[in-house]
Amino acid sequence: MDLGLNGKTALVTGASRGIGLAVTEALAAEGVRVFGVARTITPELEKAAAGTVSADLSTGAGALAAVDAALAELGGIDILVNNVGGGDGDKLTLGGFLDSSDEQWREVFALNLFGVVTTMRAALPSLIERRGAIVNISSINARVPAVGPSGYSEAKAALTALSKRLSEEFGPQGVRVNTVSPGVVGTSIWRGPDSIGAKFAAAGGVPQEDFLAALPEQFGIASRRITEPQEVADLVAFLSSERAANIVGADLVIDGGTVKTL
């Protein structure tokens, strides 16, 4: 299927690895000039992207600098993919609400919500001019808050709600805003040595490899496997294209059937 994206431009955040890198590669393969933003620029990102910048998107200054750099490199933004999120697995605690600090809540919201707010506000004038598309990467935790770092589910729920609001405000101006909500995805967040996956495994007293092998059944994933980054990237590329021209304000779940509610 030709998505008709050849010649378009895109800004992808959190682009150095995992879902963000897969999105960058998928869009580039469709002929999109992608500007990738991440704290650490990897060789893989440099290979796939037309331009890159290192920025801390949990800060307003970092988000504004990233958009300015993208506009300078690309001349305008047709597609904005806000993929940055999660947090540093080695810093987040898995304790309950009473065990979590105010600092963790602020840091999680700064990265998963407030930085995205600043990025979208800065990019929207160009997106309006070009009648572009925004795809925000949320999480199924927005629908089904789970045991995990305090603040993450709540920040993603706010992001999903914000995306719906912006779809109503800017849809009449030709800007489509949609959300993609993955379940467990096979990235370093789950497979890395200092990841949330490693912390869950340690909490359960089992090797990380065994934890990941048992995870689909324990989490009730109907497909009995976790999602891979390329599968999320393919969905993002479709939503970014004119093939999805009348998909506005949707929250599309890609989780192998983890969420059981309608």
Q: Cite the active site residues.
A: 152
Alpha-carbon gap, residue 65 to 59, rounded angstroms: 10
**How many CA atoms are closer than 13 Å to the CA of 129, on its beta-carbon side?**
9
Alpha-carbon gap, residue 24 to 32, rounded angstroms: 9
Q: Quote the distance between the C-alpha of residue 190 and its chain's center.
A: 15
Backbone angles phi and psi of 146, in degrees to 5: -120, 170
Structure tokens at 176: 């489509």
End-to-end CA distance of the chain: 29
DSSP, res 38: E
Alpha-carbon gap, residue 133 to 110, rounded angstroms: 23
